[in-house]
Amino acid sequence: QELQFDLDNNVHYLDITPLKIDVGKYSLVFEITLQDSEHETVYTTGGRNTESVVVTGLIKVDKAEIGISENDAGSAESVEKLDLLKDTKVSLSANHLQKLRLSFQLSTPLGRTFKPHQVFLKLKHESKVEHLFVVPGSARQFKIVLDFLGLVEKFYYLSGTYDLELSVGDASMENSFLRALGQLELDLPEAPEKAPRPPAQAVDPLAKFRPQKEIEHIFRVPEKRPLQEVSLAFTGLTLLPFIGFLIGLMRLGVNLKNFPSLPGPAAFASLFHAGIAAVLLLYVLFWVKLDLFTTLKYLSFLGVFLVFVGHRTLSHLSNTTAKQKTA
């Protein structure tokens, strides 16, 4: 076929419309020839260039059927028509003694049988276990028959709901599709002890970054507390030993000879004893109201204060004792 020349765009082209070229892959062989014999002494020709091209088009899908049959003769108890170019779904049920049959035809725009590169039927169990089958094609149609009796081990004896999905694709098929056909409720026998187990499903590495299920905590019901009067009476009983200690000091007489008499040291000594009393009070508040971290925070400040005033008080007592010994 001689190429035509476009003077406006300065290109050669081939009009394939009258050639009735069908969908498919073709090899174009280009060869240069001279129309004028006088040019043969000026130009050199020879050799061929081969290029592969794909002519695409819309493929027609006809006579799509799916059903469940009882025997090899193909007498199906339920056959349903499918429109694979539309979103139509079926609902089927079968047991291990039955077979699943799927058939359809593919034809090019010129009415010829079309065989795409990929035709797969996938069955996906509700537990995410998938099974992929190649749909073979003949000169007239694509047809697959799944004999569940011979596939029980391949299906790992998993009964339940299977999602049916058909994928048909080819580089020259403009309307390639991945179509969900519907669901199949499959009843298989129980697995024997040495039956193969389903493979472990891959864990999505990004699943841990997605929103997780809310955790609801159920706390223990607090125990019943005694009456306020009983608590106050118990608190009073716990203070009785301390009150007895104070009474005993008063009866025996408290030795305050070493208490500083000067205003400055006396003030530090009073602050030192007040700091010790504050630590004891803080200890009581820890059991009654405060938490551990709040108590430690207050105790750190009291500790620094006690170190300072205690050092001044003890230094004064040490100096006083040293002067008494030298005198």
Which comes out higher in pLDDT, residue 111 or 41?
111
CATH code of the domain made up of 60-193: 2.70.50.30
What is the amino acid identity at position 123?
A: L
User: How many CB atoms lie under 10 A from the CB of residue 157?
Assistant: 17
Q: How far is CA 275 from CA 285, 304, 313, in A?
A: 15, 10, 13
DSSP string, 181-202: EEEEEEE-PPP-TTPPPPPPPP
Q: Is the pLDDT of residue 144 over 90?
A: yes
- What b-and-e string marks burial along 302-323, b requiring 16 or more CB atoms within 10 Å of the CB? eeebbeebbebbeebeeeeeee
Q: Give the pLDDT confidence score for residue 10 in this predicted structure.
A: 87
DSSP string, 121-143: EEEEETTS-EEEEE--B-SS-EE
Rounded (5°) CA angle 273-277-281 = 170
How far does the chain reach from its first CA to its final CA, in angstroms?
137
What is the amino acid identity at position 196?
A: P
Using DSSP's 3-state secondary structure scheme, residue 281 falls into: helix
Tell me the C-alpha distance between 145 and 66, whole Å.
10
What are the boundaries of each domain within the chain? 4-55, 60-193, 227-252, 257-326
pLDDT digits (tens, 9 = 90+) for 149-202: 999 999 999 999 999 999 999 989 999 999 999 999 999 998 888 888 888 777
* pTM value > 0.75: no
Q: Give the pLDDT confidence score for residue 162 in this predicted structure.
A: 95
